[in-house]
Structure 1
């Protein structure tokens, strides 16, 4: 029988343990192999797990657990650090986690994106933030797995590990963070309007977090309006910059490996008072399967709202978009792109209805043919547009895998694809559902829910921030969707 003793080195134990420290050590015999950790580490498994109830024990009288030592070592490492040594987690590891009844939150952090079930999302955790400022942005790393979660509140960026059991915060030079991207568990990027540069926030795990470096637009230090990043394998980071005088703007593509600027895309200049001629992009998105960059921005003036939507093939041209459209009648309150559905989606600023444009049918400059098909109430959309209402004001839209999420005030809806017809001229059929208990403005304890100001999706989870709430809500798919088979 081989014997392997794993010490809890990540918990900063001194080389010569004191009597009080040794009294908190828990020794485990898992399938014939010995492990040593602390009761504090095991408590992170959750109250439903038998691991959480195990007390200190000497090496000559270890607790016995019937399990696979190799898989248990990975689970124990995750409890200590909140990170997995490799992704994706194997089905065997997920089965082992369920075998030891690790709580639903921990299982969700291990689950792959394929386990995400939008109709099974339920709130599972409320992460309180330090300070008096409510979060302005949340982000989840660009990975099929929700390895961690990052929140910006004021000028502070706080990173939570995958199990949401520990946090690390760093103070940036930014007064208020407007845009946030989590590249990996160890790197987040923050930007702010009216403040130059993209701030790099590093969370190395084994050292203090830092926010000392910044990325700049090479021609002129400028404020950041929006950011988007590709999956790590694609090595792209996009940032929308606007000059301090608001007379020029551009999207700059950075290499995620070197964090150096690669190309400037769609530079615009304002001449005189013609602000609408150079509307800066305030929403960016990357479609990896199509190698296209979505860049959209809008402007509200005396004549109403007008906006531009552009699709860029950054390999072909940095000055001429592959496709573009000028929105006027029912301009978008927000727009998003779905790689899985090969479509663009928008929420009408006037109507509040959801529209879809098939990427396969987009061509030219978008001025001759209206690309949008209303997948909501078309008659209501027409009436709202004609009366110039603002029913879509403040709505948000985001695509995750093959689902489209819309935030309307305090609640969220999800659009799912129910049919795809392959005949020419036919359209995709989408159906609206509600996330959670639907459009109720009141919680179970009778309090009124607050407006959603930011949200993010990753792995099997959704995270969202609400106005004036100094916390982040974490919603996970039901643990029953996580299978070890």
Structure 2
């Protein structure tokens, strides 16, 4: 039993709470709660706050968990009391993400007139703050949406964005050189630019970061560059600690008219559990869409991929890699159907069977669409998060999950489409009219228990949470 001398009494909004100094010390040195001295009910400490939310925070500090994922209001209260960043992150963990429970929780308006072109969420274990590119500006909303910080880049329109931490993001744009570092902790700091070694005029096609929070992983940023003359390309890995290039991967040169021999990577993905880098690109020509997909073991070779496939029949409109499911997933450019390639079938010869892709959608429809060269997959995006695969179709999002069949059906694990959702109808505070029409999704991201969506021509970003509070707008 705690001694009376260690008991702290706090008055929150007219309600008294009693706890110990040791419990409050878990909030971190920057929190005013950690410095409260022992007190009695006759002379309590008074702090302005919501007693209902404070009771949940106190329970979390005592037990290290919550009965359900936190609301945006609870995260705002945690931010109000300056809880340690690691605690804030654990309030919205990846383990709390449940796609079937996702609901719109906030609408984040953006300053200016430029619609969002890219969105990112901070990786675990950082709090799932939202980073948005709109025009040449990159804006960061903290995990509780209580504050907003912006950095003006020299880029006219950012189309590649990676959130490294709550204080750092990297941005790039096609036809404009370099990767620009956005430091939200000091927006007035001189701009820093990462370039392809030996070619300061090279432009960025795509970016991806490793699991920088995992001590077992190298804190690398992978960036796909293309030369200003568009006659060469490569993926360059930068060490995020020193901001120096550490590897050039898969350099390609264009010779004569053989453009398809050097298709640059426009989609990158990192498979931490396999130590593999996905680098894929496609090219549209008179013969249709062709693509090149490579898997690189960056620690073994920077010139020879462990697996490569050239695509011509129903080439990918978008592609993603899942570490949890040990598979690649793509949306066919012609059919719009979802395909899967099992990485566990990767043999030493660098092939995944005779035909790597298995259609997990409507196979007959995919075959008919590919033979007729339709373009039903144009504009579709695909992304993997935890054990799920998400696909955008215009204004809608669908999710695929792995389910196990009953023993009498063979007991196999198959992928099933089990959720399709349209965009929310959000009412902005202070406005009589809600945002009811759904427009095409142009960018999205996942982090913690959240999904963030940017839609065409909307000067705002939607945040969906597995356990949201009432829908509201944040200034």
Map 1:198-217 → 2, pairs under 5 A? 198-204=179-185, 207-208=186-187, 210=189, 212-217=191-196
RMSD over equivalenced CA pairs, Å: 3.2
Residues 71 and 93 in structure 1, CA contact (< 8 A), matched pair in contact too: no
Deviation at 1:170, TM superposition (A): 0.7
* Separation in 2, partners of 1:99, 1:337: 29
Residues 292 and 310 in structure 2, CA contact (< 8 A), matched pair in contact too: yes
Residues 33 and 69 in structure 1, CA contact (< 8 A), matched pair in contact too: no
Map 1:65-144 → 2, pairs under 5 A? 65-66=17-18, 74=27, 77=31, 92-95=63-66, 102-103=73-74, 110-144=91-125
Which residue in 2 is equivalent to 1:406?
Answer: 391
Which residue in 2 is equivalent to 1:300?
Answer: 284
* Separation in 2, partners of 1:106, 1:388: 54
1:114 is paired with a residue whose SS is: helix
* Inter-CA distance 471–428: structure 2 relative to 1 (3 Å threshold): same
* Separation in 2, partners of 1:269, 1:91: 59
Which residue in 1 is equivalent to 2:134?
Answer: 153
Cα deviation, 1:33-92, whole Å, max 9, x if unaligned, reads 458xxxxxxxxxxxxxxx6xx3xxxxxxx8633456655673994999xxxxxxxx8782
1:448 aligns with 2:437: yes
Which of residues 51, 56, 64 is equivalent to 2:16?
64
Residues 71 and 96 in structure 1, CA contact (< 8 A), matched pair in contact too: no
Residues 335 and 344 in structure 1, CA contact (< 8 A), matched pair in contact too: yes
* Separation in 1, partners of 2:70, 2:311: 54
* Separation in 1, partners of 2:246, 2:112: 37
Deviation at 1:420, TM superposition (A): 8.0
* Separation in 1, partners of 2:445, 2:289: 27
1:350 is paired with a residue whose SS is: coil
Map 1:453-464 → 2, pairs under 5 A? 453-464=442-453
* Inter-CA distance 404–91: structure 2 relative to 1 (3 Å threshold): farther
Deviation at 1:302, TM superposition (A): 0.8
* Inter-CA distance 262–128: structure 2 relative to 1 (3 Å threshold): same
* Separation in 2, partners of 1:400, 1:91: 30
1:448 is paired with a residue whose SS is: coil
* Separation in 1, partners of 2:262, 2:248: 15
Which of residues 176, 185, 197 is equivalent to 1:218?
197
Which residue in 2 is equivalent to 1:331?
Answer: 315
Moved over 3 A (4+): 66-73, 75-80, 93-109, 144-147, 207-211, 363-368, 425-428, 439-447
Deviation at 1:97, TM superposition (A): 10
Cα deviation, 1:155-204, whole Å, max 9, x if unaligned, reads 10101111111110010111110100011111100011111111011122
TM-score, with structure 2 as normaliser: 0.80
* Inter-CA distance 442–348: structure 2 relative to 1 (3 Å threshold): farther
Residues 150 and 158 in structure 1, CA contact (< 8 A), matched pair in contact too: yes
Deviates more, 1:104-113 or 1:309-318: 104-113
Which residue in 2 is equivalent to 1:419?
Answer: 404
* Separation in 2, partners of 1:100, 1:335: 32
Cα deviation, 1:302-354, whole Å, max 9, x if unaligned, reads 11000000000001110000000011010000000000000000000000000
* Inter-CA distance 408–202: structure 2 relative to 1 (3 Å threshold): same
Which of residues 162, 168, 186 is equivalent to 2:149?
168
* Separation in 2, partners of 1:92, 1:256: 35
Which residue in 2 is equivalent to 1:42?
Answer: none
Which of residues 368, 387, 402 is equivalent to 1:383?
368
Which of residues 15, 20, 32 is equivalent to 2:8?
32
1:196 aligns with 2:185: no
* Inter-CA distance 258–420: structure 2 relative to 1 (3 Å threshold): farther
* Separation in 2, partners of 1:479, 1:78: 27
Residues 9 and 17 in structure 2, CA contact (< 8 A), matched pair in contact too: no
TM-score, with structure 1 as normaliser: 0.78
Deviation at 1:210, TM superposition (A): 4.0
Which residue in 1 is equivalent to 2:328?
Answer: 344
Size of the aligned set, in residue pairs, is: 415
* Inter-CA distance 115–371: structure 2 relative to 1 (3 Å threshold): same
* Separation in 1, partners of 2:177, 2:72: 48
Cα deviation, 1:107-126, whole Å, max 9, x if unaligned, reads 89622111110110000000
Residues 325 and 365 in structure 1, CA contact (< 8 A), matched pair in contact too: no
* Separation in 2, partners of 1:238, 1:78: 39
Which residue in 2 is equivalent to 1:184?
Answer: 165
2:191 is paired with a residue whose SS is: strand
